[in-house]
Structure 1
Amino acid sequence: MTTAKFLLPLAASAVLLGACTVGPDFKAPEASTPATWHDALATQSALSGETRVTAEADPDPQWWRSFNDATLTSLIDRATRGNLDVQIAVVRIAEARASERSIAAAGLPSINASASYTHEDVGQGLASSSSSAPPGGNPGLAALVDSLTKPVNIYQGSLDASWELDLFGRVRRSVEAANASTVAAIGNRDDALVTLQAEVAQTYAQLRAAQASRDTALADLVAEQQILDLTRERASNGLVTDLDVESATSAVGTLEASLAQYDQQIAASLNGLAVLLGEAPGALDAELATATPIPPPPPQVPVGLPASLARRRPDIRVAEAQLHRQTAEVGVAVAQFYPDISLTGQVGQESTKPGDITKWANNFYSFGPSVSLPIFQGGQLRANLKLAKADQAEAALSYRKTVLGALQDVDNALSAYRAELRRHQALEKTVSAETKALALATNQYKNGVSTFIDVLTAENTLEQQRQQFIQSTLTLTTDVVTLYKALGGGWQQQEEVKS
């Protein structure tokens, strides 16, 4: 009756306090983004007659398809499946989920079964003494001692159960923190996907730019060789000097030397793409050997509004999850100040003979609550709470820093794209003009109207402008890729990873 009077109030308290969870509750922070992008000129529809940047729509999650390059699309799809960094991130999600389940198990009852066999022989010394007793001793006493000191076999089996009631939410806060860690792991996976897709697109554009530069150098080499042949012919007729021949020969040699540089760039890009796809260097050489144009930017680049950035950028969602985890850890630290109350029990059977272990008389049991109350920890609990609050403050600052960094990334990408677009348009006009200038200089040189210096100057200028135009096309494409990466697109279409 006394036991029942004690357990009933305890059970009632458990019911009343079961929903009590100490510590602060997490509230998602406000991203505090501006209404418009800082580089407003980049989103004006009148910026270019070819490409329009607009904030009227969010970016396409599969932005690489807007380049209309089937090879690029195939490479990104294969990289998503085969890249090792993404696979590592997926494994870390599985690790986080397993840790979450392990922590959640602490709030459930635990039951253990045990069995033991013990052989006790504690009377050897006494038995020896009684057997060697002097004549005339008490034989009854000796027999009693012998019976009490005989070896004993003890057989025991039992079930032990314990359950921490978690009245103040220490386990629940730990589970909350573990769940936030899982969300962060998923965000890191998404961030790895965004980075991977951008790297594949940029490396692919670099490959096509190197191939275009090599083809341009080869075409210039053919034209330069023709001029060299013409110069030698004119020199043999005394129309030009040997200086013109040597200058033309030097120009041919310079172009031939540049081919090795482009070959190295092509090899590096091919190897980089192979590794990004999770394959060995050289695996894509045959597939990508044929040169194709650099994928041009799409006619329209939607960027959305700053307010939508927080839900797209994986690193912002990771920072939010880390803040959530640190907030839950504050609750764990607060719960350490409160008592731990557990219910424990044991039921089993014990016998000296195997055949008697199932008899009711050999049963035993025990049950009851246990309470552990921290009284003096040398300041450890207060230090842990202070540390948890400091970690929470740091996570809050990191979140704000991540948001500002994301806004900066987008505005920088918009500014770079706008500036390169204007440069690209100017270079396109320059290449057209220099092509006409070389044709005029070559024609005048053939007719003896101008000197070889005019032709050489026109050639060098056109070659430089062509290569600059190719590099500008590459920069323009990579700027668009960088913009999409800054906007955080590319992970939304991926399936949820199952552990």
Structure 2
Amino acid sequence: MPRLGLVIALASLAACRTVGPDYALPDSSAFKRPEANAAFLDTGSSALAADTGLPARWWSLYRDPTLDGLVEQALRDNVELKAADAHLRRAAAMYEQAMDAGGFEYEADAGVSRAQLSAESFLLEHELPPINLADGKFAVSYQFDLFGKLRRGAEAARADEQSVAAARDLARITVVAEVADNYLEICHANHELHVATHSLQLQQRGREVTQRLIAAGRGTAPELARANAQVAILEAALPPLQAKRQAAAYSLAALLGQTPGQLPAGVVDCAHAPVLAQPLPIGDGRALLARRPDIRQSERKLAAATARIGVATAELYPDIHFGASIGAAGLLADFGEPLTRQWSFGPLISWTLPSSGTRARISATEAGADAALAEFDHTVLQALRETQTALDRYAQDLRRLQSLQVAQQQAALAAEQNRRLYQGGRTPYLSSLDADRSLASADATLAEAQAQVSRDQIHLFLALGGGWDAEAPRAAPTAAR
């Protein structure tokens, strides 16, 4: 018993040792660079609010009940999100399994059989009669996590679960952005169809005027051919717009977990896309890095890879179990009698002597952690690049939109003035019609630019990383080798 006490004491002392590196982000990580946590570049536009953080439910900034309802339905019924939820439940169960590893384990077994034993095995020359046998045992054992193999395994499983949770958040923000993008695409496509149809009607009226002039002997065949060509060109512009609207509608239905054509009433008929009622809030680099789920996912993968170094390193050391068992084995008629009783009590040490394969596994996990760190830095830099690119594109397209708005206003003024001159008999009708066509062209270009600005907003919201469940945790990475 003194030796047994010594083993237990040594196990207790060794239990505090955990092999493998502890997880901490290196100072050289891109995540910790001051430039990565600073304000974004070129954010002086009045349409951007650099000092305001992005709200979780960013789509509510559009103040459109239809969009709010579509997002809510997608978050509830989207099949990809259901799969992401299932993956998260699986990862949580695996973490619970890892937490339950080691410690106390219990075993019980019992059996009854009728058998005939081999006479020769007992060096007998006559056949033994059949007998009834019984055996039963209850055992309990405890595995000491002397070198932290189980703890490191639980750390890795926990980081894996958190990585899957971040992946689910990433799926959510992607689905929300796609829902908003397709809904706005439908609205803009309907508006562009309205503008294109109006342009076609103006061109058809111009062709009618040309035909009347030819009938009166004042027009020419080349003028009519040119008018016919313009009508055909404008007619050809309608099918792509209709196809774009239908494609957006089909995509939106799929995002809502529905088949093509199953959309809430009024969605396909949306003619005016919602607009932001306030400057777009963007925050700064620090908030972006803490908010984006792909960064959290990559950082948790790094944590898991670091913990697995400890799991592999612990294979260099022995495993120690301490167990006890009690039971009986013998003839069924004598089962439980003193002659059938058996018990055991004591430690068990198992050690697979390290080989070159064990060292290779440790090297492989260390290389995996180095790769995970590089991938984490890449994710950070990619997030900053995507956001800066989206900000710049949004700013440039806003400036383009402002210029096109001025051009459309001037075209509207010219059309109105030519209309008055024609009504006063001072200019021919074709001059007024040409001014109307210029206005229709300006309207079409402006409508396309407005659609592009809406797409830029959605892409910027996606790059900023907002839009998952408001209750989702948004902790910044705290810890790589």
Same fold per TM (> 0.5)?
A: yes
In 2, Cα distance between equivalents of 1:89 and 1:123? 60
For 1:368, the aligned partner's letter is G
Q: Identify which range, 174-183 or 469-478, moves more after superposition.
A: 469-478
Could you tell me which residue of structure 2 aligns to residue 364 of structure 1? 342
Could you tell me which residue of structure 2 aligns to residue 137 of structure 1? none
In 1, Cα distance between equivalents of 2:288 and 2:178? 21
1:18 aligns with 2:7: no
Question: Do the aligned partners of residues 364 and 227 (structure 1) sit closer, same or farther apart at CA in structure 2, a change above 3 Å counting?
Answer: same
| Structure 1 residue 372 displacement after superposition | 1.7
Q: Identify which range, 487-496 or 288-297, moves more after superposition.
A: 487-496
In 2, Cα distance between equivalents of 1:429 and 1:254? 26
For 1:59, the aligned partner's letter is L
1:82 aligns with 2:70: no
- Contact conserved, 2:40 with 2:284, CA < 8 A, in 1? no
Q: Secondary structure at the match of 1:158?
A: strand
Give deviations 1:130-183, integer Å, cap 9, x for gaps: xxxxxxxxxxxxxx965x722222111111333221111101100110000000
Q: Secondary structure at the match of 2:392?
A: helix
| Structure 1 residue 107 displacement after superposition | 1.4
Could you tell me which residue of structure 2 aligns to residue 294 of structure 1? 273
Q: How does 1:340-489 map to 2 (within 5 A)?
A: 340-354=319-333, 356-377=334-355, 379-440=356-417, 447=425, 449=427, 452=430, 458=435, 461-489=438-466
| Structure 1 residue 349 displacement after superposition | 1.7
Give deviations 1:383-439, integer Å, cap 9, x for gaps: 011111111111111111111111111111111111000000001111222233345
Could you tell me which residue of structure 2 aligns to residue 130 of structure 1? none
| Structure 1 residue 286 displacement after superposition | 4.5
For 1:401, the aligned partner's letter is H
In 1, Cα distance between equivalents of 2:64 and 2:221? 49
| Structure 1 residue 93 displacement after superposition | 0.6
Residue of structure 1 aligned with 2:66, choices 68, 71, 85 = 71
Could you tell me which residue of structure 2 aligns to residue 60 of structure 1? 55
- Contact conserved, 1:248 with 1:456, CA < 8 A, in 2? no
Q: How does 1:102-117 map to 2 (within 5 A)?
A: 102-117=97-112
| Structure 1 residue 38 displacement after superposition | 4.7
Give deviations 1:320-373, integer Å, cap 9, x for gaps: 10111011011111111111111233211223125x324354321122211122
* TM-score normalised by the chain length of structure 2: 0.90
Q: Secondary structure at the match of 2:316?
A: coil
For 1:8, the aligned partner's letter is G
| Structure 1 residue 28 displacement after superposition | 4.2
In 2, Cα distance between equivalents of 1:23 and 1:123? 54
Q: Identify which range, 266-275 or 20-29, moves more after superposition.
A: 20-29
- Contact conserved, 2:390 with 2:460, CA < 8 A, in 1? yes
Identity fraction in percent: 29
Q: Identify which range, 442-451 or 54-63, moves more after superposition.
A: 442-451
Could you tell me which residue of structure 2 aligns to residue 39 of structure 1? 41
Give deviations 1:449-495, integer Å, cap 9, x for gaps: 4584x567645544433222112111111212211211111125046
Residue of structure 2 aligned with 1:8, choices 1, 5, 26 = 5
| Structure 1 residue 375 displacement after superposition | 2.4
Give deviations 1:80-109, integer Å, cap 9, x for gaps: 111111111111111111111222222132
In 2, Cα distance between equivalents of 1:449 and 1:149? 129
**Structure ID, larger Rg:** 1
Could you tell me which runs of 5 or more consecutive residues in structure 2 were left unpaired when the two chains were aligned: 474-481
Could you tell me which residue of structure 2 aligns to residue 183 of structure 1? 162
In 2, Cα distance between equivalents of 1:261 and 1:62? 33
Could you tell me which residue of structure 2 aligns to residue 226 of structure 1? 205
- Contact conserved, 2:206 with 2:433, CA < 8 A, in 1? no
In 2, Cα distance between equivalents of 1:169 and 1:309? 35
For 2:402, the aligned partner's letter is Q
Q: How does 1:95-106 map to 2 (within 5 A)?
A: 95-106=90-101
1:199 aligns with 2:185: no
Could you tell me which residue of structure 2 aligns to residue 138 of structure 1? none
In 1, Cα distance between equivalents of 2:183 and 2:222? 43
* Cα RMSD after superposing both structures: 2.5
For 1:103, the aligned partner's letter is A
Could you tell me which runs of 5 or more consecutive residues in structure 1 were left unpaired when the two chains were aligned: 127-143
How many equivalent residue pairs? 465
